[in-house]
Amino acid sequence: MSVEECDVLAVGGGPFNLGLAALADPLPDVSVVVCEQLSESDWGWHPGVLFDDAILQVGFLADLVSLVDPTHSLSFLNYLRDRDRLYQFYVRERFHPTRLEYQDYLRWAAARLPVRHGHRVESTSWDDAKARFAVTVSGPDGGRREFSARHLALGVGTAPWLPPKLAALGRDRVVHSADYLRRVADLDRADRVTVVGSGQSGAEVMLDLVRRNGAHGPRLSWLTRTESFAPLDYSRLVLEMTTPDYVRYFASLPERTRDALVAGQWRHYKGISQETIDDLHDALYRRLAHGGTDVELRSGVAVADAALRDGGITLDCVHRDTGQGFEHRTDVVVAATGYRHRPTDFLAPIADRLARDDAGRHQIREDHSIETDPSISGRVFTSNADLHRHGVSAPDLGFGAVRNAVVLNTVLSREAYRLPVRTAFSSFGTPGGDG
């Protein structure tokens, strides 16, 4: 079996690893290969919630490369130029692309990069003699091939998560928001539909349900345990908490302090865009004005249990302010209950050589690699799995280019990309200290 060598094997073909390959592309002294398990035709970026009018929550500069190298050939602006839409985008005067447009941009970039679609990473071990990772990959034809890589870059992303009580109800009764557009016809046939969980996904699902049914259709409810249907905190100085300046400050804090901060910062990345809230309120008003049934919205409600009963679903709920319990009846639940990190079973052969903190999470270095046993000289870089180490910027598309520049500078032991020095007006630490 032939072995293909590369400097960095990137596992997963999402935006962060595509960005790594893009920034590596013009550099003559580093090679990055991306292995993506989905075929080119099957690959999509959150396809279950790609509504026609959905807008990206970050601006176009949060592409694969621009915040490190705005002259790069794989920038979003160059994509627009290649698609002959640059002037239309300029006249449109909207900073944020549509989500469908962003997906097309990612596909456009991937077609110009060393992305191996249909290649699933099966196993990874460390070859002490060669001081390289030995990676076994299954290809689209079912055959196996081997890669030898100096470093790994993990970008496996997240998977839809259902609370066990909801998952036990069965696929016919529960639809995760990630599958909403693929299952929406099933919801149209129900008498009662309940969205559980908020955030941007929950709000977009609720908005679509209200719009598509007009004054008719299922009776709709929306339950969330947060104290309100809270807007994304998109104020300018708060956004500075997604900058490299804040990342450096946050990473310098003790673990317990970081965890406490993350718990209180959920509105910075899990809130609802103000535009979506306004659109939903308008749609609710139209439904009411046109003679439709009321839509039930309840915040501060936790779902404690769920069961199939009398031909429908009974949700046992608890109101957070009063502590009172009540039953909620519905036919189908749309669960906007978030995502969890995908398992990395392919790391099993070296799992005991990857350091973890007291909470069982990987210990992450400042250069975005996992702390390893000294016997492993290669780096295992990770993206969007380091919220506990680098704060609210971890899942932010706008931080991806800077993180990837740090990775490449580390791999090359030189400044391949100049990193920004001052990125915020705010100072986050004490005078003379970090931040």
Q: CATH code at 213?
A: 3.50.50.60
Distance CA 394, CA 269 (A): 10
SS3 category, 189 = coil
Q: Answer whether 159's CB lies under 8 Å from 342's CB.
A: yes
Q: Do 170 and 316 belong together in one domain?
A: yes
Distance of alpha carbon 318 from its chain centroid, rounded? 29
For 291-302, b/e burial (b = at least 16 CB within 10 A) is ebeebebbbebe
Assess whether 200 and 333 both reside in one domain. yes
Residues 168, 295 within the same domain: yes
Residues 208 and 299 in one domain: yes
Q: Which residues, in sequence order, are CB contacts of 185 under 8 Å at separation 6+? A: none
Below-50 pLDDT ranges, the chain: none
Number of CB atoms found within 10 A of residue 262's CB:
17
- Does 68 lie in the same domain as 184? no
For 17, 64, 285, the CA distances from 21, given in Å and listed in that order, are: 6, 9, 47
Same domain, 349 and 214: no
Q: Which structural domain, as residue segments, surrounds residue 308?
A: 161-231+270-339
* Co-location of 136 and 97 in the same domain: yes
**Is residue 249 included in any domain, yes or no?**
no
pTM: 0.94
- Angstrom distance (rounded) from CA 206 to CA 195: 7
Q: Give pLDDT, residue 1.
A: 65
Query: Which residue, of 339, 358, 375, is where some domain finishes?
Result: 339
The verdict on 58 and 122 lying in the same domain is yes
- 173 and 300 belong to one structural domain: yes
Q: How far apart are CA 117 and CA 139, in angstroms?
A: 8
Closest by CA position to 232, among listed 266, 260, 206: 266
Query: At which of 304, 339, 374 does a domain end?
Result: 339
- As for how many domains the chain has, the answer is 2
Note whether residue 253 is domain-resident.
no
The sign one gets for the Cα dihedral 396, 49, 225, 233 is positive
Whether residue 335 is found in the same domain as residue 400: no
Same domain as 92, residue 40: yes
Inside any domain, residue 245: no
**Alpha carbon distance 221, 317 (integer Å):** 13
Judgement on whether residues 330 and 352 belong to the same structural domain of the protein: no
Domain assignment present for residue 258? The answer is no
pLDDT tens string 91-106 = 999 999 999 999 999 9
Residue 242 lies in a domain: no
